[in-house]
Each structure stands twice: as C-alpha cells, then as structure tokens.
C-alpha cells in the first residue's frame, strides 16, 4: 500500500530489532507487496524510534512557522536580493481618462431641393447619388438642371443689363472653378461673364445664349446626396423635385459641459460603428449649452458637438445609426505617473512602490494623487522620472 508520508515497514526476522522509516513520498515494502506487511508497532525500540522521529519533525515545523510569523514586514528603504520579473519606468506626462458617450451618425441638413424652371420632370437620380459642382441634379424637358456651390439662392435670371450683386460674383466663382471664367470674380455682369456662360452652355449641349434662365442652376453650400425623389418622372417641374442631404455623415453627440475643454473644434475622437469598427473622427462644431430631458423627468445641461469621420468610407454601409464616441478627458497635466499595479499597501494606510536599483529592490513610500485608466499620479516621495519600479503581473 502506498502513502504520501512516512511509512513504517515490518522488521524482517533476519534484520536487527529496529524499524525502518521510508522517505516521504516513498512506497512501503517492495513494489510487489499487497500491503499486508505494513503494520503499526505497539512496543519495543521501534516504537520509541518512531516517536523520536515524529517529535523531531513537529519541532522543525513549529520553528519554521515561528520564523515566518514573527518576520517583520519590509520597511521603506529595505533592500531585497532578487529583483522582480516585471518592471516599468516612472513616467512624466498627462493623466487622462476615456469618457464614452452615445451619439447618432447620419446625413445632416435633409431638405427639399428644386427650381422654378418650368416644364416636365424627365429624369431623376437614384437614391444615394452624390452630386457635385457642375453636375446634373435632374432633367426638365430633357435638359439638365445643374448644381453650383454658394450660400445665396437663385432669385433672378443672369442676363446682360442686370444690376450688380453678390449672386453674380457667386456665379463667376463657379464658372471659374469649372474652367470657363478666366478673370477675377466680381459683382458685375460683363462681357467676360457672358462669354464664360456661352462656353459652359456649349459644354452642356445647351443653346449658347450667354444668358441663364431662372431655375437652370441651383445653388447649394456644397455637394448633396440624393435621399429620394419628391417628384416622379412625368410630373410638372417648378417645385421641389428631390429630397437631399449633405453628402457627409456627421455624428451628433451631447456631452457634459465640464468636458468642453476636451472636445474643441479640431479635436480627434474615436467613433465605434455598429459593426465594431473604430474610426477616427474630428470635432467640427461645438454648439451652445442646451437643456435636454433626463431619465428623472427633469432637465440636464448638455453641450452639443458635431463629429465627422476622417474616413467616411468606413461608414458607407450605414445610414442612420447609433455610435459610441470616446473622448480623452485630461485630469492632471505634466505629472509623475506609475501603474496602479506598482502600488503596495503599507501599515498605517501608506502606499509604497518597489524601486529596482542595481538588480536589487527597495521600498519607497509615496504620496498618491489622482487615479485614472489604470494609472496613478505620484505627488510625494523619493521617486523620480525614469526610476524603475516593480509591477504585479
């Protein structure tokens, strides 16, 4: 029979009158015994020898336990011979934390678009089509209605003899961008403007009259994305024909006003899309604080911000979706930092770290500041940037 600790083996008749203690983890008798040879002894020198051996083991164990229990805890400055296997350097930098908020990613500025050009709608683009400067929005009487960029809407026709105005400058800027106007755009409708219009009309297959009837062009602040057709092919023109939006998706997010310094215009943020993709975005606008309804039936002050993805193609598969936006919140600037896993609790509520010097470690008592994202600010103690400290695995 096998045991995990000291086994007594029965004395062989030919052996001296004493018992043999097998080593710890050994096997009684020879390997072929069935265990009947193993017995407890009740008398003779063997019993006394067994008692002496057992007593010695108990004494040794007690002494070892006493040493462990009475060893004083390591104090700050005490050195140890074996350095830890995991270390890191004390760093100086900014203590930050990540703040996650939920927003909505969608095409903004949805609106109806049309022109007063009379006739019949003979062609509309497919939903999702993006129309840029100089391109066709739709067709009336099988002729194109063209998109141009600008903040002023079309409110009159462009023809010789018209009064000066900013709409003329806006037209000339577009004709110049399209390669038809060579002069300096101004607010006067002159011969150079007429010639540029003729070249533009000829390129579109229109009659080159040098005059643009009202409704032939539509001004928009930028390119547009077609969401749907308001008017069907065959419908009378002259009103809204398309429902469009801006061509770039934007994420609208409400944040705590205390985070305003962490989300200025131009700040970079992470945007998590529904498929798990994390895209980088840029804050493009920060609004004025507004009151929003909260879960308690009251109002909470929020700061609306607008974010545009740096790579819009990452969200091409989505229309209007919820997204998670991660901001970096600055807590402390230009401070000493160590991982929280480097901290050791000390008597009296103090904290310390193990500093590694010349392949030895020593305890250094430290005073702690603020915590964030697994890091802690060191505001006091004999610790400097670049010191090597032990960290827990």
Report the distance separating Cα 102 and Cα 254, nearest Å. Answer: 8
- N- to C-terminal Cα distance for the chain? 43
Judged against a pLDDT cut of 60, whether residue 15 lies above it is answered with no
Query: Residue 222: pLDDT above 80?
Result: yes
Spatial strand order in the sheet of 130-131: 111-114, 240-246, 224-229, 130-131
- Pairing outcome for strands 143-149 and 79-80: unpaired
* Residue 50 confidence class, pLDDT cut points 50, 70, 90: very low
- Joined tokens for residue 374: 């697994």
Residue 43 CA to residue 21 CA, distance in Å, equals 16
pLDDT value at residue 67? 31
* Nearest-angstrom CA–CA distance, 41 and 44: 8
Residue 216 clears pLDDT 80, i.e. is over it: yes
CB 40 within 8 A of CB 54: no
**CA–CA separation, 258 and 256 (whole Å):** 5
pLDDT in tens, 109-166: 999 999 999 999 999 999 999 999 999 999 999 999 999 999 999 999 999 999 999 9
Between helix 191-204 and helix 166-177 the angle, nearest 10°, is 50
What average pLDDT does range 217-225 have in this prediction?
97
- In 256-320, DSSP assigns E strands to 268-272, 278-286, 290-293, 299-309
DSSP letter for 27, please: B
DSSP letter (8 states) at residue 11: P
What tokens does 177 get?
A: 């961008």
Instruction: Tell me what pLDDT residue 80 has.
Output: 54
Number of H helices, E strands in the chain: 3, 24
Q: Would you list the domain boundaries of the chain?
A: 8-70, 80-94+334-390, 98-107+248-331, 117-238
Q: What is the mean pLDDT of residues 340-364?
A: 94
Q: Please provide the average confidence, as pLDDT, over all residues in the chain.
A: 83
Rounded Cα distance between 306 and 284, Å, is: 6
Which residue would you say has higher pLDDT here, 136 or 49? 136
Which class in CATH covers the domain with range 98-107+248-331?
Answer: mainly beta
Query: In DSSP terms, which residues pair with 336 in a beta bridge?
Result: 92, 378
| Residue 45: predicted pLDDT | 40
Q: What is the pLDDT of residue 83?
A: 57
Distances (CA, A) of 304 to 252, 255, 297: 7, 6, 20
- How is domain 80-94+334-390 classified at the CATH fold level? 2.40.420
The C-alpha atoms of residue 273 and residue 270 are separated, in whole angstroms, by 10
Higher pLDDT, 188 or 24: 188
Q: Which residues contact 156 (CB under 8 A, 6 or more apart)?
A: 162, 167, 214
* pLDDT at residue 306 in the model: 96
Residues near 276 by beta carbon (within 8 Å), at least 6 away in sequence? none
pLDDT tens for 362-379 read 999 999 999 998 999 999
Class of domain 117-238: mainly alpha
Q: One fold for both 80-94+334-390 and 98-107+248-331?
A: no
Q: What would the two tokens of residue 352 be?
A: 């310390």
Q: How far apart are CA 384 and CA 377, in angstroms?
A: 12
Strand-pair partners of 278: 272
Whether 352 shows a pLDDT value over 80: the answer reads yes
Q: Which of 162, 164, 167, 163 shows the shortest CA–CA distance to 152?
A: 167
Distance CA 219, CA 116 (A): 13
């Amino acid at each position: 029979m096998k045991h995990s600790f000291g086994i007594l083996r029965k004395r062989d008749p030919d052996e001296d009158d004493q018992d043999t203690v097998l080593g710890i983890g050994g096997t009684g008798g020879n390997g072929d015994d069935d265990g009947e040879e193993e017995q407890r002894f009740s008398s003779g020198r063997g019993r006394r020898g067994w008692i002496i051996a057992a007593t010695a083991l108990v004494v040794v164990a007690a002494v070892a336990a006493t040493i462990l229990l009475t060893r004083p805890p390591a104090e700050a400055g005490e050195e140890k011979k074996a350095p830890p296997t995991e270390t890191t350097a004390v760093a100086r930098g900014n203590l930050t934390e990540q703040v996650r908020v939920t927003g909505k990613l969608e095409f903004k500025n949805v609106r109806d678009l049309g022109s007063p050009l009379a006739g019949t709608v003979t062609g509309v683009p497919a939903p999702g089509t993006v129309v840029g400067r100089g391109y066709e929005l739709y067709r009336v009487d099988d002729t194109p209605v063209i998109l141009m960029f600008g903040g002023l809407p079309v409110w009159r026709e462009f023809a010789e003899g018209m009064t000066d105005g900013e709409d003329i400058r806006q037209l000339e800027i577009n004709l110049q961008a399209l390669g038809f106007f060579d002069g300096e755009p101004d607010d006067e409708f002159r011969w150079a403007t007429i010639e540029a219009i003729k070249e533009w009309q000829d390129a579109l297959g229109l009659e080159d009259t040098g005059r643009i009837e009202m409704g032939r062009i539509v001004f928009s602040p930028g390119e547009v994305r077609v969401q749907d057709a308001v008017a069907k092919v065959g419908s009378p023109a002259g009103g809204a024909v398309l429902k469009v939006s801006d061509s770039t998706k934007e994420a609208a997010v409400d944040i705590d006003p205390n985070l305003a310094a962490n989300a200025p215009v131009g700040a970079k943020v992470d945007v998590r899309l529904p498929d798990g993709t994390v895209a980088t975005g840029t804050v493009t606008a920060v609004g004025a604080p507004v009151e929003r309804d909260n879960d308690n039936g009251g109002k909470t002050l929020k700061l609306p911000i607008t974010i545009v993805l740096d790579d819009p193609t990452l969200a091409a598969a989505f229309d209007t979706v919820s997204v998670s936006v991660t901001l970096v919140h600055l807590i402390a600037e230009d401070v000493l930092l160590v991982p929280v896993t480097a901290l050791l609790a000390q008597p009296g509520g103090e904290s310390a770290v193990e500093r590694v010097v010349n392949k030895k470690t020593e305890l250094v008592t430290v005073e702690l500041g603020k915590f964030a994202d697994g890091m802690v600010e060191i505001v006091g103690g004999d610790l400097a940037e670049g010191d090597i400290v032990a960290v827990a695995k």
